[in-house]
Structures are given as structure tokens and as C-alpha cells.
Amino acid sequence: MSVIRNILNSRSSKGGNFFNILTKILGFKPKSITHYKKAFTHRSLNRKDEEGNAINFERMEFLGDAMLSAVVASHLFKAVPGGNEGYLTKMRSKVVSRKHLNELGKDLDLIAHVQTNIPKNQFGVNIHGNLFEALIGAIYLDRGYKYCKRFIYERVIDPYVDIEQLEGKVISYKSLVIEWCQKEKKEFDFNIYEDTGNDELKHFAVKLRIDGRVVGKARATSKKKAEEKASKRAYYALQTQMD
């Protein structure tokens, strides 16, 4: 009876449209939209359950991240029987990278369905990936591992996981450059400073030096982004040596 009641509730005039949207996104009908509503609730609403626990997508995001990682790890373990632990870990990181998850969440336009008190144009880019992980967590709670795995295969593994392409994909140029410098016993440093210029947003500029020589320069709206851009330029400048 509780299942029937949940289905009826999910198709009420208030949530019927959301039920149809979910069905289209998921590729199957949810048993109850309760978990999915939580997966699209932002903390800015400050909602709490009867026991005073916060209701928002953050805990769901944690669960979805774990489920996504487990399913991808299982797939890679079977697909690459000769891969060692380090190789499999790097390959999994490429599949579940924040950039990739943001693209997946954006493709599904998940942000259009989030409930929040904050203007959506003020969210950072990571909201897309966070909602994607929260959605996976909701699927697991609603329909269990089987449907969760099915969704991940249809939306992530089947269309995007190509072993040969992943082997050549760089996750972080900064990490790549640092590993190379350490291996070759080269000294390196990132010289970062504020660079406001004429931009409305504060920018940071960075110079990457290797053995005292500037090999990459960049500027961006955060120190992390500036370091990554400078590292990418350094990688292409030194690609022959690094390869």
C-alpha cells in the first residue's frame, strides 16, 4: 500500500510534471519522488525533517559519488584484466573527474529542476556535477543497485568510457608536470600574484619556473585555474622531453 501511495503522490498535480521529467531523465519510472526531491533541494532553503536533520542534496551527493565510483571501478576491473591498482585508479579518476561530471549534469539540464533561494546564475560550475551525483544517490535509494548500475552504464560508461581514449586523457597538467619534475629531479615553483587589471572579477596570474626558467604563464579567476593553465602551457612547451 505504501508503494502505491507513493506513486499516486508522485503523480499528483503538484509533482506530476516532476515525475514525467524524472522518467525521461532516468529512462524508467521512479517508485517515489521523495528521494529525488531531496536530490534537487539546495541547502539555502534551510529545510529540516521531523527530527531536525537538514534536507538537501549534499548527503545524497555523497552516496551517489560512492555508487558511481563503485560501478565504474567494477567495469574497469573487468574490462582491463591486466591493469594494476595504480592504472585502474587513474582510469577511474578520468571517468569520474569533476569536469566530466559537470558536463553530464549540464547535458541533462539538472540545474533547471533544483529548488533554491539563490539565483541559479550565481552557482559555480560544480553544481552540475553535484546534482548528477545526488541523482545517482536518489536512484540507489529508490530502486536499488540494479537500477543505479543501469543508469550509470547508460549515461556514463556506454557513451563515454573508451579505454584507449582514456589512456591518453590528461586529468591534471599540474600533477603531470610536478611528477615529471620530481622524477627528473628538477626544481620548480609557481609564482602567483593578484592581477586585477581592467577586469571586474579579481584575477590571479602565475609564472611556472622549472630550473629557474619560466616555461608557462597564465591568468585566471582562481589560483588553481591559473596554475593548471600555466602547467598545460608548460607541458606543450616541454612535451618532447616529457614524453
Cell numbers describing residue 159:
557513451
Q: List, as residue ranges, the binding site for Mg(2+).
A: 61, 130, 133
Cβ atoms of 33 and 21 closer than 8 Å: no
Please give the Cα distance from 204 to 225 (Å, whole number). 9
Active site residue 65: yes
Q: Select which of 58, 65, 167, 194 is catalytic.
A: 65
Q: Identify whether the C-beta of residue 128 lies closer than 8 Å to the C-beta of residue 113.
A: no
Query: From the candidates 49, 107, 133, 187, which is the catalytic residue?
Result: 133
Angle at CA 127, nearest 5°, toward 121 and 132? 135
Catalytic residue check, 109: no
DSSP strands (E only) in 53-137:
54-55
Annotated binding site: 61, 130, 133
Amino acid sitting at position 11 = R
b/e code 141-174 from CB counts within 10 Å (16+ = b): bbbeeebbbbbbeebbbeeebeeeebeeeeeebb
In angstroms, rounded to a whole number, what is the distance separating the alpha carbons of residues 84 and 102?
Answer: 28
Q: Whole-angstrom Cα distance, residue 25 to residue 19?
A: 10
Q: Looking at the annotation, which residues are catalytic?
A: 65, 133
